[in-house]
Amino acid sequence: METALRIHTERTPNPASVKWVVGQTVLESGRPLNFELGTPREVSPLAARILAVPGVTSVLLGLEVITVSKAEDVGWRELGQAVTRAVQDWAAAGEDALGAAYQAPPRAPDDEVEARIRAILESEIAPYVERDGGEIDLVGFRDGVVEVALRGACVGCPSSTVTLKMGVEARLREEIPEVVSVVAV
């Protein structure tokens, strides 16, 4: 007997992104993964199904959460059922979220300061960002400037600048004197 998938949606601070909370594991472990238009099924069967819905622009897969971002000219009322159906079809097919062609992006080794920055981002800041349907990753550190990539609900979010300056930058400067500022790239 097949068990019904329990899905509900939650708003994010970004009106262009909504979280689908899925009653089962999406990714086994690790950080959320972002997928853009053109992602093939061989890389992510789940992301490809959702990205096939007209108006969807990106998909962020988490442990039990899927954050979907949409084009400005499309409403959630139009997308909601189609995205839910894509998730249900994926679950019914018994597919993994990641396909055989998925390759984790390479990461350059960190120097000492970058390692301290990454530790704070991953242990203290990322869980809060992920709760809002987003992701934050360290891109680099140069001349006192921390460069981060924002994905999922964080892209285009009206409060992302405040979060970066008042939250992320303030916390990093508190712990790491070499940090002067934080910018999204």
pLDDT along the chain (185 residues), means of 10: 73 92 87 93 97 97 93 92 95 94 82 92 90 89 92 84 86 93 90
Domain locations along the chain: 7-93, 112-184
User: 64 and 51 in contact (C-beta within 8 Å)?
Assistant: no
Assigned superfamily of 112-184: Fe-S cluster assembly (FSCA) (3.30.300.130)
Establish whether domains 7-93 and 112-184 are of one fold.
no
CA distance 123 to 114: 14
Q: Report the Cα 70 to chain-centroid distance in Å.
A: 14
pLDDT of amino acid 85: 94
121 CB-near residues (< 8 Å, 6+ apart): 136, 137, 138, 148, 168, 172
Asked if the 7-93 domain carries CATH number 3.30.1370.70, the reply is yes
- SS3 helix, strand, coil % of the chain, rounded to 5? 35, 25, 40
CA distance 184 to 136: 9
For the CA atoms of 43, 98, 184, 137, the dihedral, rounded to the nearest 10 degrees, stands at: -130
